[in-house]
Structure 1
Amino acid sequence: MDAPFALQTWYRADRGPRYMQLSQHIAGLIRSGALEPGTQLPPERDLGDLAEVSRVTVRQAVAQLVEEGLLEQRRGAGTFVRPQPPKMEQSLSALLSFTEYMRARGMTSTSRILRRGIFLPTPDEQVALGLAGATRVARVDRIRSADGAAIALEYSSLPLDVLPDPEAVETSLYDVLRASGTAPTRAVQRINAVNIGAEEARLLNLAQGTAVLRVDRTAYLPSGRPIEFTRGLYRSDIYDFVAELRQEPNP
């Protein structure tokens, strides 16, 4: 196990503090499978010798990874690689909520509400939902988890006549919409990669600057009216979006 921690494999003088570079390097080894779940890291002193850094640097790097959920420290035993949630693939051809997708996989979906209420719309919300500037929106911001692991942040906005009481949303937004007969039947999603900021990284147990998938979804009623705009940040080490392509028949 010596070679993966050698200084030349992870340190670059222009890439920030050593503890952060070492933390990111170990995280990469874990996510690539080079360090498997249950693997014990060398003791603090030994790891410092292998990486050619001080024990303080090792301690800071390990603490960062424990906070991110990649390592766990067992009293009297050492530091070990934690088992990670399985990689998930979601089809882009089906309109499913996070809760419905997890149900289909036999997993338990939970949400933690970060904020919900009635607000003036942002420019993105105005454009997506076709709203006038003075029209207010219902907004629900949540951390989405599966079997206890934080996977995504979702920031959802809807017109007030569609969701007059954002306090009604606990786990599934679409369950609430179906109950009122206002569930969407189609959606347009735009996906790109972004580097996550400090606060969102903390909520998802990731290092600041980690690449995540940003998904902007606008959902529509059968009439064509847009009634939901959700911006989601999904952990790219866990989540994949998959599209099936078919060749059109020749005319």
Structure 2
Amino acid sequence: MSESSDAIGPAAERVRRQLLDQIQHGLLHPGERLGAERDLAQKLGVSRSTMRQALGALERAGAVRRVPGRGGGTFVRSQKVERDLSRVVGVPALLRAQGMTSGSRIITTAITEADQETRAALELGVGAYVVDVVRIRLADGMPISLEHVRLPADRFPQLLDLPLGGSLYDLLDEHYDTVPGEAEEHIEVVAASEDEASILGTDPGAALLSITRITKDQDGALFEFSHDLFRADRTIISVRTPATPPASGDSRRVVSLRPRVK
């Protein structure tokens, strides 16, 4: 969001900097409507043409988006989260690296008998139990993903007694000496159901990135089966491929993109 001030006057540049400063310091939030051009101009003490120049510069910089029409207006654009599939890293660390604040809302936690899909993913026997955690992950206070994690209960006793609002990977490392070694992920684009849309703050039918993950620890033992739904309008998928194979012990992902089967 560092668009230059070329072709705008000094008054428009002052307004541009003022609004950009409010966005960058969280005084104006992603998705927030700034108001009508006329009202903004009056509030900031400039002409409508000056206001139009400043908003145009902010739009070109990607800081705001302008929606025409009766129900439109100028809105603070949501920053997209880059999800690097080259490394196995938790959402909090991912967001911190991009200058965003991470948060969580815990929906449900339970110790439950593993279903057939979970048993197959984690190679568990019939009657095995798993720690089951469902959370909403937040980026700068706004929902970015709906996360459903299942972990073998016998391997992680008393996990539900620990604070689950942050990184599960950090908890597993600190309390159970478990760190990710390799993850296999399958990614699909799906349409949000009404419940999913309500939870994630988007529209029913909006595109979501459905990511199913099976993770092994540093010793090659399976320990995580999870399913995440990321808002596609707020997520960028990236992959960095090294010229040489990763050194032994480095965490890595194996990613598969596949169409949804109806």
TM range (shorter): 0.5 to 0.7
Could you say if the C-alpha distance between residues 205 and 130 of structure 1 is closer, same or farther in structure 2, counting changes exceeding 3 Å? same
| Greater fraction strand | 2
Mapping for residues 118-137 of structure 1, pairs under 5 Å: 118-137=111-130
SS in structure 2 opposite 1:103?
A: helix
Please list the CA deviations of residues 55-114 of structure 1 after superposition, one character each: whole Å capped at 9, or x if unmatched.
xxxxxxxxxxxxxxx99xxxxxx8644323212222111111001101111211000000
The match for 2:173 is 178
The match for 1:207 is 203
Could you say if the C-alpha distance between residues 167 and 112 of structure 1 is closer, same or farther in structure 2, counting changes exceeding 3 Å? farther
The answer to whether the 8 Å contact 1:213/1:233 transfers is yes
Q: How many residues align?
A: 181
Q: Structure 1 unaligned runs (5+)? A: 1-35, 42-69, 72-77
Bigger mean CA offset, 130-139 vs 179-188: 179-188
SS in structure 2 opposite 1:227?
A: strand
The match for 1:229 is 225
CA drift of 1:139 comes to 0.8
Q: Structure 2 unaligned runs (5+)? A: 1-31, 38-64, 246-262
SS in structure 2 opposite 1:95?
A: coil
TM-score by length of 2: 0.63
Partner Cα separation in structure 2 for residue 203 and residue 154 of structure 1: 11
The match for 1:8 is none
The match for 1:25 is none
CA drift of 1:223 comes to 2.3
Mapping for residues 51-70 of structure 1, pairs under 5 Å: none
Partner Cα separation in structure 1 for residue 228 and residue 110 of structure 2: 18
TM-score by length of 1: 0.65
Letter of the 1:158 partner, please give it.
Answer: L
The answer to whether the 8 Å contact 1:139/1:166 transfers is no
The match for 2:15 is none
- Which of 92, 109, 113 is residue 102 of structure 2 equivalent to? 109
- Which of 166, 180, 184 is residue 160 of structure 2 equivalent to? 166
1:153 and 2:146 aligned: yes
The answer to whether the 8 Å contact 1:185/1:221 transfers is yes
The match for 1:219 is 215
- Which of 75, 87, 92 is residue 99 of structure 1 equivalent to? 92
CA drift of 1:125 comes to 1.2
CA drift of 1:198 comes to 1.2
SS in structure 2 opposite 1:82?
A: strand
SS in structure 2 opposite 1:177?
A: helix
The answer to whether the 8 Å contact 2:211/2:229 transfers is yes
CA drift of 1:167 comes to 3.8
SS in structure 1 opposite 2:186?
A: strand
